[in-house]
Amino acid sequence: MTSSLPPLAPSEVEGNSAEGSVPRHVAIIMDGNGRWAIRRSLPRVAGHRAGAEAVRRTMQAAVDSGVEVLTLYAFSSENWRRSEDEVSDLKGLMRFYLERELGTLQKEKVRLRLIGEPAAFGNELYERLQQAVEETRDNDRLTLVVALNYGSQGEIAGAAKALARAARDGALDPETIDIAAIEGLLHTCDLPPLDLLIRTSGEVRLSNFLLWQAAYAELHFVDTLWPDFDEAAFNSALGEFARRQRRFGGR
């Protein structure tokens, strides 16, 4: 599915201040659901359910603030290492969220987009996800990108393999491979460049999320556990973004 949002090249804004601006594309590593539950002597699935409420609040805050794209790290390719029960709970929560929130997506004119390899969740859930993507495809107020079974290193390796195959088959001169050629094969190729990446829970790392895309993104780390993240926290991150000088290595 092709996005109607034209990418904004860094050269168009290089050297400019972000003062007073709203990021076009915000991504969030939603971390801390398990710790939130443990601190309350609750099962981990309770933390994931509370985290789903934080998704709803954050999505609404993004819509209200004028953000064009919100990308959420929902399930990494490494999350399969978790217990079978927890993975099953996460799948059930996805089904529940789709059934409950599809109406909200339509009402707020939010388009759902998936990146990663969601087919690994099985035919039933994958078909429901694809149906939600199709039903919301014409919405244009916010694009909600959900990363499912996603890993950035695998994404980049996949782009490299595609270029290598093209070169092997004589369809591509290796000397012509540049940044644009790689970006054109990433899952986010038709989205605006990433402006702001937020991580909750006090961890200060990217955890294999949008590694290429984050090259010149502003990074914002907060101690708040994801289930406690709310509109005020999101707006605070936008405020911090607006105060930063974005130089893109120019000076």
Binding positions for Mg(2+) are 31, 218
Catalytic residue list contains 31? yes
Q: Do 193 and 7 contact (CB within 8 A), yes or no?
A: yes
Tokens of 13: 């804004």
Tokens of 94: 């996805």
Give the Cβ contact number of residue 85 at 10 Å: 11
Cα–Cα separations (whole angstroms), residue 48 to 14, 37, 136, 195: 39, 8, 24, 27
What are residue 139's phi and psi, to 5 degrees?
Answer: -70, 145
| DSSP annotation of 229 | -
Q: Which of 79, 139, 228, 230 is catalytic?
A: 79
Annotated binding site: 31-36, 44, 48, 76-78, 80, 82, 199, 205-207, 218
Q: Is 71 exposed, middle or buried (0-12, 13-18, 19+ CB in 10 A)?
A: buried
CA dihedral 68, 72, 77, 81 (to 10 degrees): 180
Annotated binding site for substrate: 32-36, 44, 48, 76-78, 80, 82, 199, 205-207
Q: Which of 31, 89, 149, 195 is catalytic?
A: 31
Nearest residue to 73 via CA among 187, 215, 159: 187
Catalytic residue list contains 190? no
- Annotated active-site positions, please? 31, 79
